[in-house]
Amino acid sequence: EDDRAELAAQRRAQQQSGYRLADGRWRGERYGPVRGVAVGTVFGAGDYQRKGRFEMSETGFHAGHVQPEWHDPSGAGCWSLVLNNDNGQSDFSSFETVAYAGAGGRNRGQNRTAAQSYDQSWDSAVNRALRANCENGRPVRVVRGPKLPGPHSTATSGGGFRYDGLYGVTKAEMVRTGPKHLQTCMFTLQRLESSCGDEVEDAKKKRGAATGTGRDAPGVRGKRSRKR
């Protein structure tokens, strides 16, 4: 009973701080911007390890201390994405456009920095969620950390994890990559012009421009959701 009372008190404090909503959900369990977190906000400033991950989790902006993706358990999409390591075939050289390699294809116990060992698939909850973002136009919040390869890491600007705004998933496809030509779920993320309000419409426009049709991106099948 003491543990339950302590947990209830903790939740009330989180709600009073605005980190949790009245229904118990974290404030980051939504698509689009999060109230109180402006683009450019740095979590764990001055730290080059995991302090920022703990701050994001404790304040409900991005739950979890390790997983780079935070996705809706219903499969409707991915809420936020932390870019902080080289995960194989990803390309982080551009700030505006990100080529992101999906989850899976590694042996048990290996993290995302390990070389891919076998084919990825759409059976992965992470890959399905990001593909759903591409289908329905819901945006993803992108955060960059100090260990990110390339020029957009926070390593040279004081460390921590920096919120860089909303990105639309404009393409989701299965392609063969690397020397072994393994199947890899590849996602193209394009930074959106707005940081609030019209982010869903911006994502749909970006996706339409990328595919030339405004319909499902190459490699994406199934009905598109009408929800926003």
Instruction: Express each pLDDT in 123-178 by its tens digit.
Output: 999 999 999 999 999 999 999 999 999 999 999 999 999 999 999 999 999 999 88
Rg, C-alpha atoms of the chain: 18
Residue 104 has pLDDT above 90, yes or no: no
Spatial CA neighbour of 222 closest among 172, 150, 161, 147: 172
Residue 203 · residue 210 · CB < 8 Å: no
Question: At residue 214, what is the residue type?
Answer: G
Percentage above 70 pLDDT, the chain: 81
Q: Is 94 helix (H, G, I), strand (E, B) or coil?
A: coil
Q: Which two tokens stand for residue 224?
A: 């598109």
Residue 213 — pLDDT band, cuts 50, 70, 90? very low
Residue 36 has pLDDT above 60, yes or no: yes
Per-residue pLDDT tens for 54-89? 999 999 999 999 899 999 999 999 999 999 987 767
**Domain(s) of CATH 2.30.280.10: residues in the chain:** 31-211
- Angle of CA points 104, 134, 212, to nearest 5°: 125
Helices (H), the chain: 2-16, 51-58, 125-136, 199-211
Predicted TM-score (pTM) of this structure: 0.81
> In the prediction, which pLDDT does 53 show?
97
Residues 6+ apart with CB under 8 A from 96: 190, 191
Residues 6+ apart with CB under 8 A from 125: 71, 75
More confident residue, 52 or 199: 52
Superfamily for domain range 31-211: SRA-YDG (2.30.280.10)
